[in-house]
Structure 1
């Protein structure tokens, strides 16, 4: 199974920030036979979503419609859409593969991806909606200097989006080769073009409904698989685990933790990246402005947490089910005795085992559709940073009409699509595992500190936020380059200068320490005014004023 490991890693980094799951992406993915059922179902999904895009285009004439769907998405719908942004091919295929190979340790990542949501629910959702209008930069700059804060926020957001998009495009190419039997170039161009179409014409409304449809399909397919697995063991979890232990090559070791994370520093740093990186992802934060008020924003997180938690329970059951129904079935073994396609195909083979060719085609199509949904959200977040933050507020000082904003946004979407396709081709055979970890580390060390301190710390000043945020961004970038993932795996040095794979712990310390030092020592007139402004804005946010519109700057 060793020779299939690169294929697994390609899938793991495709959507979710499973930096800890990602190893070197090396070698060529072996093209599979053409799966016409999967292609047909995927084409049906494309036609449906393009129809939705056409419908949404007639309702996306203003900037509010384009960026936030007019604030008319309900809490339940937004919760499903957020879950659709977060549930992915990587979590479905990757985590189930981790459970298939390592057992209990696969659950670590399910929990790690989930724990960030209570932070968003209790600390951020309400204030995000009350204080913001289009992007989280509205919130971060509501009482600070517009240009420097928006410039830093846009820089960090575009960094996250860029590295995430590269991972998406490369993962899409590898995934479509495995599941559909099509060429890598076709997959990359297809994803890039569809991403542009969804966002260019449909905006947030189309993106939201693409996410909702994808979430429903993925939850339905995963539920069917889990039910069929439990049916095979008479719905007895004890029997499921006992049988898995009896047939797995690792025996009882699959029920014990400690295989994937071996030292406390790495464990803490990984946990911080997963937890606080989630709370700093621009395409996730942007979703809180699609609902009409703070109450609906809280509902969004509540429903999203439920859907995501349920989904990760399903992946755990699917992983153990694959041990029983796939790992011991000769039909899914290659001549060397390993799983055909590698461990990453465990869930796909399980779909075939429990539902035949038709259900296999359905699951394959849904797995690829998840990437389309996520890249659309990323593209919209990137376009909003360019048009609203950089162009409108940094370059033009806020003096831009709505028509000009829309033109810049749509141009930015097209440029992002072209760049994504080019980078997807350029990085096809490169080690891109570090990019996912870097995206989450930047979100945790730059976006999250600025956002949370602007909401809760009265002594925060523009100087402190800019310097501290920049320190977090630079630290995350530098330590990633010096880490074993890049310094050894990519640059081929013998020993890494920075010994840990995950820089979030150190980057977050740099960001918070820098922000605190340069804020408390800021005795300028502007710094004092910014501290005083906090209290008036804080009262306004708590009373609900500004829940429909952004706080005036």
Structure 2
């Protein structure tokens, strides 16, 4: 399938290619510079894992926003709306509502109870080695699922920017993104990652706001005219603005939508790269403040995805979007080029370069956060506390985390090469489902249920993890259709594209059942100690 590089008409005229690549390179160089600077400030394990707990609530709110508004948000959701209208916008609603769960149930207790990772909270009252092993395994798996979406977005984006097409081009682009990702983590640690996420959040909001203003200006600030034009250009008419274009056609697609909604709403509170962000602030109050800021920033962004998605449908058209990328992941950059003056114009080339650079910075910031979360969990939970049983120093632990980042980056590159046909938002929804199935039940039970036991934690984590991953493997996402991970194979006996409706309740059920079985009792003193710490902050790091 690999063929020679060709210049895409949608990617901007050839005479502007140098300008596009130069602007793009400047953005990437700035973020790498920030990473190197921050790396020089990283002196200890606390600096590497938690940024020295030196960030304010507002700074961490920006960083959380930068971590959360990923390629799925900017590229995947814009593409989903451009191709499926109303049903695509459901992703925006789900991602935003999910923050209420994180704010109300997880943010403050987690910050008070842990040190660096989710497993710190679980190990406080449960058997340390088996629980850390389970939590570390779950963290790595969820992070790799999420990393896949970023790799897919990066491949589509840079291929468009460079005017490259073909399997070979995308593979080299994914390898490049993976290498830069590893550099971010190994050099900058949490400090570098956080500052890159802060800069990226500001740039992303500014870029999205600029496109929103330009799109609305083209339709005289009349949202009704924009939606009408999008429906007309989509070729689907009024159905484009109504439920059912992607979900609701039959019973299976309705169940798939419910499954997707559960995964989106419950998944955020179990995402490891989001959970570790609560440890970068000095107090629980700052953690709460950071989530409040994040909700405001993320909410504003997702409102603007209306202009991104429907604007792309109205001004670029679904045919041109699919011709560039079959899953719609290039809808936002193509829209930027169109509102900047169109293909071949200097304004279009500049805006395409700026928005693509912002999107690429988005991808790099998110993959750095994901890689840091998974490598930190491996080094801190699996290596330091399980394999070495606490007999390790800070330097060895940080070195292990850096080596783990290289390995996890390599795995993500290998899987990302095969996943380019999938929509980035749909891939992230799978990561949310795995996180909500394996991590969320265990965290909630540990924080709020005094009868929760080690057996319950292990059943919940492994049961939710194995069930969700197994159902994904045997779903239409992996095989059985042209857009699947392996389109030439067919073993999709599970009909839903998202496993959440089965695996999330199963994770909660197994945690409850495992804790109620005889032969193991919860320690009420340990729970009382954790409860005081989680609610008051007494003894928090």
TM-score (norm 1): 0.86
Question: What do the CA deviations read for 1:32-59 (whole angstroms, capped 9, x no partner)?
Answer: 3563233212211222122212221221
C-alpha distance in structure 1 between counterparts of 2:294 and 2:160, whole Å? 30
C-alpha distance in structure 1 between counterparts of 2:451 and 2:290, whole Å? 31
Paired residues of 2:148 and 2:419 also in contact (CA < 8 A): no
Give the secondary structure class of the aligned counterpart of 1:398: coil
Q: CA deviation at 1:303?
A: 1.2
Q: CA deviation at 1:358?
A: 1.1
After superposition, where does 1:88-237 map in structure 2 within 5 Å? 88-181=70-163, 183-237=169-223
Match of 2:446 in 1: 454
Question: What do the CA deviations read for 1:67-120 (whole angstroms, capped 9, x no partner)?
Answer: 111001111111111111121333223322332233222221110111110001
| 2:436 is equivalent to residue 444 of structure 1 | yes
Structure 1 residues 80 and 515: alpha-carbon distance in aligned structure 2, compared to 1, 3 A threshold: same
Q: 1:41 aligns with which of 19, 23, 32?
A: 23
Match of 2:497 in 1: 501
C-alpha distance in structure 2 between counterparts of 1:502 and 1:159, whole Å? 16
| 2:408 is equivalent to residue 408 of structure 1 | no
Question: What do the CA deviations read for 1:93-152 (whole angstroms, capped 9, x no partner)?
Answer: 332233223322222111011111000101110001100111111112221111111100
Q: CA deviation at 1:435?
A: 6.0
Structure 1 residues 508 and 104: alpha-carbon distance in aligned structure 2, compared to 1, 3 A threshold: closer
Q: CA deviation at 1:227?
A: 0.8
Q: 1:354 aligns with which of 329, 332, 339?
A: 339
Structure 1 residues 247 and 54: alpha-carbon distance in aligned structure 2, compared to 1, 3 A threshold: closer
Match of 1:531 in 2: 524
Match of 2:303 in 1: 313
Q: CA deviation at 1:257?
A: 1.2
Q: CA deviation at 1:206?
A: 0.5
Structure 1 residues 474 and 365: alpha-carbon distance in aligned structure 2, compared to 1, 3 A threshold: same
Q: 2:372 aligns with which of 372, 375, 380?
A: 380
Match of 1:239 in 2: 225
Give the secondary structure class of the aligned counterpart of 1:453: helix
Q: CA deviation at 1:159?
A: 1.0
Match of 2:7 in 1: 32
Match of 1:466 in 2: 458
| 2:507 is equivalent to residue 511 of structure 1 | yes
Unpaired runs of at least 5, structure 1: 1-25
Structure 1 residues 411 and 340: alpha-carbon distance in aligned structure 2, compared to 1, 3 A threshold: closer
Structure 1 residues 461 and 27: alpha-carbon distance in aligned structure 2, compared to 1, 3 A threshold: farther
Moved more, 123-132 or 98-107: 98-107
Unpaired runs of at least 5, structure 2: 9-13, 341-346
Q: CA deviation at 1:432?
A: 9.6
Match of 2:265 in 1: 275
Moved more, 99-108 or 278-287: 99-108
Paired residues of 2:256 and 2:496 also in contact (CA < 8 A): yes
Q: CA deviation at 1:409?
A: 1.6
Q: 2:277 aligns with which of 268, 287, 294?
A: 287
CA RMSD across the alignment = 2.7
C-alpha distance in structure 2 between counterparts of 1:108 and 1:60, whole Å? 40
Q: CA deviation at 1:394?
A: 0.7
Structure 1 residues 517 and 223: alpha-carbon distance in aligned structure 2, compared to 1, 3 A threshold: same
Paired residues of 1:76 and 1:303 also in contact (CA < 8 A): yes
| 2:288 is equivalent to residue 298 of structure 1 | yes
Structure 1 residues 363 and 494: alpha-carbon distance in aligned structure 2, compared to 1, 3 A threshold: closer
Aligned pair count reads 513
Moved more, 416-425 or 294-303: 416-425
C-alpha distance in structure 2 between counterparts of 1:436 and 1:345, whole Å? 16
TM-score (norm 2): 0.88
Q: CA deviation at 1:493?
A: 6.6
Paired residues of 2:233 and 2:313 also in contact (CA < 8 A): yes
Structure 1 residues 478 and 84: alpha-carbon distance in aligned structure 2, compared to 1, 3 A threshold: same
C-alpha distance in structure 2 between counterparts of 1:416 and 1:353, whole Å? 37
C-alpha distance in structure 2 between counterparts of 1:251 and 1:519, whole Å? 53
Moved more, 177-186 or 309-318: 177-186
Moved more, 406-415 or 391-400: 406-415
Structure 1 residues 318 and 481: alpha-carbon distance in aligned structure 2, compared to 1, 3 A threshold: closer
Moved more, 367-376 or 451-460: 367-376
